[in-house]
Structure 1
Amino acid sequence: MAKDFNASWLHLTSDEEILWKGHQSVYRVLPLVTVGILFVLLGTGLAGSNFFPLSNWLGVILALSGLIIAMPPLLQWRTEWYVLTTEEIYHKKGVLSTNTIQIRLDRIQNTTYSQSLVERIFGYGDVTVYTAGSGTMDLVISNVSNPQLVNGTLTEQLDRVSRK
């Protein structure tokens, strides 16, 4: 799953281990990427033909529109990461500038996971993390594959941390 994962942005202690890493399910970005690819294919086919006087320009516009539709969700999917270690949860996102959130496991009060019907069919959902001293959710691990596994792994670590 994570051949493209680069852990250099993590600040792991000597005894801290990565237990799980992932990003949004590909099913979440697939519709827009598919539409974008179709626009690019249609545009390149139209640009190379002479169906009507402006077909070349219309083809270029369609191809560029396809890139504009497909690239943002694809870049977000490739650059947003969630990491669960034995000590913390990390969330990193951003293309040109990055934003990283770290939450120590000993600060977490509660977790939940949820899936809509469509999310259950495609095997993804959200895991919500609530921290101490906050009545609101502090981190949503959104649209992640197999949220039950992620929530279960997190719960096991929370139990381990609370016994210390």
Structure 2
Amino acid sequence: MGLPSRMLGADEYEVLHTRTHAKALVGPALALIGIGALVGAGTAVIPTDYRPLGQVVVLVLGGALAGWACVRPFLRWRATTYSLTNRRLVMRTGVLSKVSVDLPLWRINDVSTQRSLGDRVLGCGTLVAQTAGEGSVALRDVPDVQHVQRAVSEQLFGELNAAPGPGGAR
């Protein structure tokens, strides 16, 4: 699901839509496994004098910890999206408090990528858009960041590349 149509201008259309890379979910998945193991061990070692109330307390604490360590990062990942239209680059994030950053394409001077070794293995990276006024805007953990960079560059410089050169040659 991309940008809602109410957020698009009259002749504006969405070129690309993605969310942050799923690598953000590896830590929460491992945490969920660990929390499950701890809850299982915790309920098993409760003395019989404190059962079932002690087991319920361990389950409630485990559920609260799972919500904080697993559900919260999942919702943050799910709510963070990057969209490219023919006019702007949009970053939307936030679960309860929504933040939307719109960067008009006409203000972008340069688009580059940054990829660590781990990012290269996972196929993601950081897209850095240099602007004339505010410096740079970094979109982190963009999946297939080179494809996104190419799409932004085509939107930025497509008309320049399509213009005929001297003598009508392209």
> If the TM-score is normalised by the length of the shorter chain, which range does it land in?
0.7 to 0.9
Instruction: Give the AA of the match of 2:32.
Output: I
Question: In the alignment, what sits opposite 1:51?
Answer: 45
Moved more, 76-85 or 60-69: 60-69
User: RMSD value over aligned CA atoms?
Assistant: 2.3
Structure 1 length-normalised TM: 0.83
Question: In the alignment, what sits opposite 2:126?
Answer: 126
CA displacement at 1:22 relative to structure 2: 0.8
Question: In the alignment, what sits opposite 1:11?
Answer: 7
Deviations 1:133-162 (A, max 9, x none): 23x21x211101100000011011110365
Counterparts of 1:90-109 in structure 2 under 5 Å? 90-109=90-109
CA distance in 2, matches of 1:82, 1:88: 11
Query: In the alignment, is residue 89 of structure 1 matched against residue 89 of structure 2?
Result: yes
Post-superposition, which runs of at least 4 consecutive aligned residues in structure 1 deviate over 3 A?
Answer: 57-60, 161-164
Structure 2 length-normalised TM: 0.80
Moved more, 109-118 or 51-60: 51-60
Aligned length: 156
CA distance in 2, matches of 1:50, 1:145: 42
Equivalent residue for 2:23, pick from 1, 4, 27: 27
Percent identical: 22
Question: In the alignment, what sits opposite 2:167?
Answer: none
CA displacement at 1:11 relative to structure 2: 2.3
CA distance in 2, matches of 1:99, 1:10: 16
Computing the radius of gyration from Cα coordinates, the structure with the larger value is 2
The verdict on how the C-alpha distance between 1:155 and 1:97 changes in structure 2, with shifts beyond 3 A counting, is: same
CA distance in 2, matches of 1:116, 1:107: 27
CA distance in 2, matches of 1:63, 1:43: 11
Ranges in structure 1 where 5+ consecutive residues have no aligned partner = none
CA displacement at 1:132 relative to structure 2: 1.4
